[in-house]
Amino acid sequence: MAEKIIMMASQRPAPPAVPAILEAPTGLLSDQLARPLHDLRISVTDRCNFRCVYCMPKAVFDSDYQYLPHTSLLSFEEITRLAQTFIAHGVEKIRLTGGEPLLRKNIEKLVGMLAELKTVHGKPLDLTLTTNASLLARKAQSLKDAGLQRITVSLDALDNATFQKMNDVDFSVDDVLHGIDVAHQVGLGPVKINMVVKAGMNDQEILPMARHFRNTPYILRFIEYMDVGASNGWKMDEVIPSAEVVSRIHAEMPLEPLSANYTGETAARWRYADGAGEIGLISSVSHAFCGDCTRARLSTEGKLYTCLFATSGHDLRALLRDGRSDAEISTVLAQLWRARGDRYSELRTNNTDGLPRSANKVEMSYIGG
């Protein structure tokens, strides 16, 4: 299995063909389902210092696993150039992911470069980053100073034994909580906390997590265990539907629904009826949100993926390193997005037992969540 994943990450598709007739971006690009291009998630490294069972299980990502060489990674200049192209087509939000993005050397420099970019309406980008918080306490201030606006932290349990079973490297909950507090103190907020819920492993932590982050400035979000990639051995009976999560919390701490902040928001929002804060539910398995998906993903070596559950990407790095112009790359991107018809989660939700599961789906650790 490890060999399959290594090959998937290193083998490159033929670069996209550049049309003879180029077009100028209008900021109003849409795909086949009339979904605009609004969000870009950029993976800056395929490395992580955790071995979470749902993302980089140790049995696959062991000491012999071959990470990408540094020369294969997009440089900060290449990332920024591509980001400008995406922004010209309507992107207003960029999230840096990994692997663990804080492992990328001098990540603050990239944040600073991206923070200087403006949307087509001349407004600052919504610039965010997702992290496991292992390095957050020491980097929060420099990230804020560089122009990062918000942080999302992955935390799957408050019980230390359960959390360490999930991350499989004996990293402490207290260190994550400290990183969250430091991020809040320097102004990287509101901090969002993502909990992936896996039945039989950490679902007993739903209520303790809700109790802990209630009456705090933080927004806790519960994520259904998803069939991303092929390495985590996903099974449908390990999914706790978001409706059950809401039911468990509501029985003790009454909830009421909130409207979305914007079209295409991944999390359904709920608030405590007594005003003690809000939670979010990300329900890709039980309640697919493909119809509003506005997200493109750029891998650490420059492949464009138009769906989290994709089996192949489009090699934009080749266009950069072949000396293609901004206009050529922009036209290629426009054609790729217009051709997009991805709705994997919707199809899986409608036909859970009948939808074939490819062994070649891109891994979350490679593309970012």
**Is residue 364's pLDDT more than 60?**
no
Quick one: pLDDT at residue 5?
A: 41
- pLDDT at 186 (0 to 100): 98
Q: Read off the pLDDT of residues 199-241 as tens digits, 9 standing for 90 and up.
A: 988 999 999 999 999 999 999 999 988 765 454 555 777 889 9
Per the structure, how many domains does the chain have?
1
pLDDT digits (tens, 9 = 90+) for 272-320: 999 999 999 998 777 766 778 899 999 999 999 988 777 789 999 999 9
Q: How large is the average pLDDT for residues 145-170?
A: 93
Is the predicted pLDDT of residue 51 greater than 80, yes or no? yes
Q: Which amino acid is at 205?
A: E
Q: How far apart are CA 137 and CA 158, in angstroms?
A: 18
Helix 173-186 crosses helix 160-167 at what angle (to 10 degrees)?
90
CA–CA dist 16, 353 (Å, integer): 34
pLDDT computed for residue 344 by the predictor: 59
> Considering Cα of 192, then 202, then 226, then 283, what sign does the dihedral take?
negative
Q: Take residue 95 and report the two structure tokens written for it.
A: 């999230």
- Show the 3-state SS of the chain: CHHHHHHHHHCCCCCCCCCCCCCCCCCCCECCCCCECCEEEEECCCCCCCCCCCCCCCCCCCCCCCCCCHHHCCCHHHHHHHHHHHHHCCCCEEEEECCCHHHCCCHHHHHHHHHCCECCCCCECEEEEEECCCCHHHHHHHHHHHCCCEEEEECCCCCHHHHHHHHCCCCCHHHHHHHHHHHHHHCCCCCEEEEEEECCCCHHHHHHHHHHHCCCCCEEEEEECCCCCCCCCCCHHHECCHHHHHHHHHHHCCEEEECCCCCCCCCEEEEECCCCCEEEEECCCCCCCHHHCCEEEECCCCEEECCCCCCCCEEHHHHHHCCCCHHHHHHHHHHHHHCCCCCHHHHHHHCCCCCCCCCCCCCHHHHCC
Q: In the predicted model, what is the mean pLDDT of residues 133-141?
A: 97
Question: What is the C-alpha to C-alpha distance for residues 269 and 118, in angstroms, rounded to an integer?
Answer: 28
pTM recorded for the entire structure? 0.89
pLDDT per residue as tens digits for the range 165-184:
888 888 899 999 999 999 99
Q: Which domain holds residue 58?
A: 2-367
Report the DSSP pairing between strands 192-197 and 150-154.
parallel
What does the pLDDT read at residue 347? 67
Higher pLDDT, 352 or 38: 38
Rg, Å, the chain Cα set: 20
List the strands of the sheet with 192-197, edge to edge: 255-258, 268-272, 278-282, 219-224, 192-197, 150-154, 126-131, 93-97, 39-43, 295-298, 303-305, 314-315
Specify the pLDDT at position 142. 98
Residue 33 scores a pLDDT above 60: yes
pLDDT band at 359 (very low <50, low <70, confident <90, very high): very low
| Range with lowest mean pLDDT among 56-65, 80-89, 203-212 | 56-65
Of 23-27, 79-83, 163-167, the poorest mean pLDDT is in: 163-167
pLDDT, residue 329, reads 98
Residues with Cβ within 8 Å of 247's Cβ and at least 6 positions away in sequence, in order, are: none
**Residue 144, phi then psi, degrees to nearest 5:** -60, -45
Instruction: Tell me how far apart the alpha carbons of residues 266 and 93 are, in angstroms, rounded to a whole number.
Output: 13
pLDDT above 70 covers a percentage of the chain that reads 86
Please, which pLDDT band fits residue 366 given cuts at 50, 70 and 90? low
Q: Can you give the CATH number for the domain in which 358 is found?
A: 3.20.20.70
CA dihedral in degrees (15, 18, 19, 21; nearest 10)? 170
pLDDT of 234: 56
* pLDDT in the model for residue 356: 46
Q: What is the mean pLDDT of residues 98-113?
A: 96
pLDDT of residue 3: 39
User: What type of residue sits at position 262?
Assistant: Y
Q: What is the mean pLDDT of the chain?
A: 88
- Structure confidence at residue 158 (pLDDT): 96
